[in-house]
């Protein structure tokens, strides 16, 4: 392994660690938000009455699939021809 490759791998590892730390901090933040209460009269009641109030899973799925379905890829004849040529070359 060359010195350049080693340094790139180390940088990639460090970036992965930053992403992990970000996920951990996000989890802590969400745990705090999920346990949040508000004062109602003399009692403290949860801000979120159900999990769906906190995170609407079905809504998030619909948003993702809607975005995927709305971005249709337009392929012109030249691109199709090049794809067929690449497929033919790679199959041999």
Question: pTM of the predicted model, to two decimals?
Answer: 0.55
**CB contact at 8 A, 38 and 47:** yes
**CB contact at 8 A, 60 and 66:** no
What pLDDT, on the 0 to 100 scale, is given for residue 71? 61
Report which secondary-structure segment, H or E, holds 38.
strand 37-40
Domain ranges, ordered by start, for the chain: 36-92
What pLDDT, on the 0 to 100 scale, is given for residue 70? 66
| Residue 10 pLDDT exceeds 90 | yes
pLDDT, tens digit, 9 for 90 and up, residues 40-62 = 999 999 998 888 888 899 998 88
Contacts 24+ apart (CB under 8 A), 50-53: none
Mean pLDDT score of the chain, rounded to an integer?
87
């Amino acid at each position: 392994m060359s010195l350049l490759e080693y340094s790139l791998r180390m940088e990639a590892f460090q970036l992965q660690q930053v992403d992990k730390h970000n996920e951990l901090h996000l989890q802590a933040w969400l745990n705090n938000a999920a346990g949040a209460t508000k004062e109602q009269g003399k009692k403290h009641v949860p801000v979120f009455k159900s999990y769906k109030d906190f995170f609407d899973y079905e809504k998030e799925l619909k948003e993702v699939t809607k975005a995927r379905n709305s971005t249709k890829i337009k392929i012109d004849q030249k691109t199709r021809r090049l794809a067929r040529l690449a497929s033919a070359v790679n199959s041999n």
